[in-house]
């Protein structure tokens, strides 16, 4: 952490955490009202948001109308058509006469973004549940005829792709043209979490580096939300004078348009904070405190703050728009805010007996095959163990919600979990946790064991190397004393013309550098 020179923040669901399920319910209701206003059935108004059904990271199949939970490779973990969960052989061929095999290998091509849409954000939760409501309604309502890729109302056909696009358009309309922001601002206490430790943490960050805000929201909405978040009778500490929210940031960027922000970006403009309107022309001057900017790009941030990629820790909730893009395109350090983590940890500890039972079942299953090899014709009866594993796995999943854990399904990690592991340097339920660590703290990832390492104890295993057909490829540990012997072996029959180096010398110091950025510091020390 001591190498971080700039701390960057997203606003929505990061600085401003929206209360669940109140905020999702509001978004759901407004989106349904919008769909009804453009011609969808009035019966949809009867639906209410159910927070126990959706989870982040699900994939919507716009061809067949299914919600899918997949792993990092596209293998199906859970499949739901409306409110109907499809299991086993039903996934390969649903129990409807007109449905052909949809996922014969229980696998999808995630790269097919025209067909599969990943619902990765917290803003997607109401949308996820609404898609399930619509598919279930049109599949089961007697007025409509269910088809493989949509439904019919007389001579009118509506594909799931068209329905999905209507929902996407309705969600965008609610966020950008509808009354979602207006209703949120009218009742901030109901919809937004307010944390008294926020001013203290940001003031401490500002003491050791620079702090900036980069949000996709417009200035007027940002100002009202941030004013509420910092609306305390005191400043960072009790007894200190109150400060406006702008004073906690060195740079404020609104209308960022992430993830475009991390690529070519948009024109950097200045905001008139009195009217909320943009001033004409492109801003080309230096960084000025008190000025609010609109647009720009991640390169703009680096230029204005005088920082480079790994100097910046960016904190956000969007795995794609905040974390993946900032990491892949700019090399920023990343901190992913996952509010669901609090519930995940609660289940992990409260239901530990289920996890332990599942591990015991795995061990018992392995014991049944312990004394069998390729010559054995015996087939142990594992049916009762398999049934118990399924029962325990189901009980575990239901502790999280109908779609199970955000991070796993049984013992399999989800696509979302793999993205977190790959792109987030840090993650937590709240970035406020940083308040309890010194800014010189070294965060290190836990050592992750590969399967062959996790199943073999750290004891001597007697293996006859020469019996292995790959014995000639065996590598032995380096003995620093064998350098002279190597040199003698290689030079005894070589002419006087020799290459500069006959063989590599064993390194005397640690060679990996993935968690060290000391190059510049070492050069400065040498100078």
Query: Catalytic site residues?
Result: 10, 12
Beta strands in 224-372 (DSSP E): 251-254, 269-271, 292-294, 312-316, 333-337
Q: Name the token pair of 503.
A: 């063989």
Beta partners for residue 79, in sequence order: 68
Beta strand 66-70 with 312-316 is unpaired
Rounded Cα distance between 335 and 423, Å, is 9
Place of tokens 């509808």: 178
Beta partners for residue 146, in sequence order: 151
Q: Name the token pair of 391.
A: 């029962």
Instruction: Please check if 10 is assigned to a binding site.
Output: yes
Q: Name the token pair of 124.
A: 């997607």
- DSSP character at residue 394: H
Q: Name the token pair of 110.
A: 């995630």
Instruction: Please check if 381 is assigned to a binding site.
Output: no
Give SS3 for 67.
Answer: strand
- DSSP character at residue 192: B
Q: How far lies 399's CA from each of 77, 84, 355, 386, 446, in Å? A: 17, 19, 12, 20, 26
Tell me how many degrees the CA angle 463-466-472 measures, rounded to the nearest 5. 115
Rounded Cα distance between 472 and 511, Å, is 26
Instruction: Please check if 482 is assigned to a binding site.
Output: no
Closest Cα to residue 344, out of 448, 434, 416? 416
User: Which residues define the annotated binding site for GMP?
Assistant: 12
Q: Which residues are annotated as a binding site for Mg(2+)?
A: 10, 317
Q: Which residues are annotated as a binding site?
A: 10, 12, 317
């Amino acid at each position: 952490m001591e190498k971080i020179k700039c701390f960057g923040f997203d606003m929505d669901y990061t600085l401003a955490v929206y209360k669940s399920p109140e905020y999702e319910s509001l978004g759901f209701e407004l989106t349904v009202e919008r769909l009804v206003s453009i011609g969808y059935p009035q019966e949809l108004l009867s639906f209410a948001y159910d927070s126990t059904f959706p989870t982040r990271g699900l994939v919507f199949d716009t061809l067949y109308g299914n919600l899918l939970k997949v792993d990092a490779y596209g293998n199906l973990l859970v499949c739901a058509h409306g409110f109907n969960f499809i299991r086993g052989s039903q996934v390969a061929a649903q129990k409807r006469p007109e449905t052909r095999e949809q996922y014969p290998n229980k696998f999808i091509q995630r790269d097919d973004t025209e067909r599969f849409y990943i619902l990765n954000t917290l803003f997607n939760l109401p949308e996820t549940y609404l898609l399930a409501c619509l598919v279930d309604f049109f599949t089961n309502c007697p007025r409509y005829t269910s088809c493989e890729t949509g439904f019919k109302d007389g001579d009118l056909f509506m594909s799931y792709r068209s329905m999905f696009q209507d929902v996407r358009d309705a969600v965008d309309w609610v966020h950008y043209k509808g009354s979602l922001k207006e209703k949120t601002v009218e009742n901030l206490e109901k919809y937004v979490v307010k944390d008294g430790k926020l001013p203290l943490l940001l003031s401490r960050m500002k003491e050791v580096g620079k702090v900036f805000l980069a949000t996709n929201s417009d200035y007027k909405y940002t100002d009202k939300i941030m004013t509420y978040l910092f609306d305390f009778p005191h400043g960072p500490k009790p007894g200190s004078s109150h400060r406006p929210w702008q004073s906690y940031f060195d740079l404020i960027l609104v209308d960022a348009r992430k993830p475009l922000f991390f690529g070519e970006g948009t024109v950097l403009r200045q905001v008139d904070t009195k009217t909320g309107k943009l001033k004409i022309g492109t801003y080309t001057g230096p960084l000025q405190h008190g000025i609010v900017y609109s647009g720009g790009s991640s390169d703009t941030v680096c230029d204005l703050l005088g920082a480079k990629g790994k100097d910046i820790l960016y904190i956000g909730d969007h795995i794609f728009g905040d974390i993946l893009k900032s990491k892949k395109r700019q090399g920023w350090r990343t901190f992913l805010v996952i509010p669901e983590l609090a519930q995940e940890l609660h289940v992990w500890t409260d239901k530990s007996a289920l996890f332990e039972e599942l591990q015991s079942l795995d061990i018992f299953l392995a014991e049944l095959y312990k004394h069998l090899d390729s010559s054995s014709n015996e087939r142990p009866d594992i049916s009762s163990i398999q049934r118990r594993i399924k029962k325990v796995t189901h009980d575990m999943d239901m502790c999280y919600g109908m779609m199970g854990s955000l991070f796993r399904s049984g013992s399999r990690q989800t696509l979302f979990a793999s993205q977190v592991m790959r792109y987030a340097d840090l993650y937590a339920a709240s970035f406020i946790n940083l308040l309890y660590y010194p800014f010189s703290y070294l965060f290190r990832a836990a050592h992750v064991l590969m399967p062959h390492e996790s199943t073999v104890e750290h004891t001597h295993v007697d293996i006859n190397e020469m019996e292995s057909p790959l014995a000639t490829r065996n590598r032995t540990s380096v003995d620093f004393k064998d350098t002279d012997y190597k040199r003698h072996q290689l030079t005894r029959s070589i002419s006087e013309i020799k290459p500069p180096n006959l063989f590599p010398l064993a390194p005397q110091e640690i060679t990996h550098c993935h968690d060290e950025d000391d190059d510049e510091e070492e050069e400065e020390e040498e100078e």
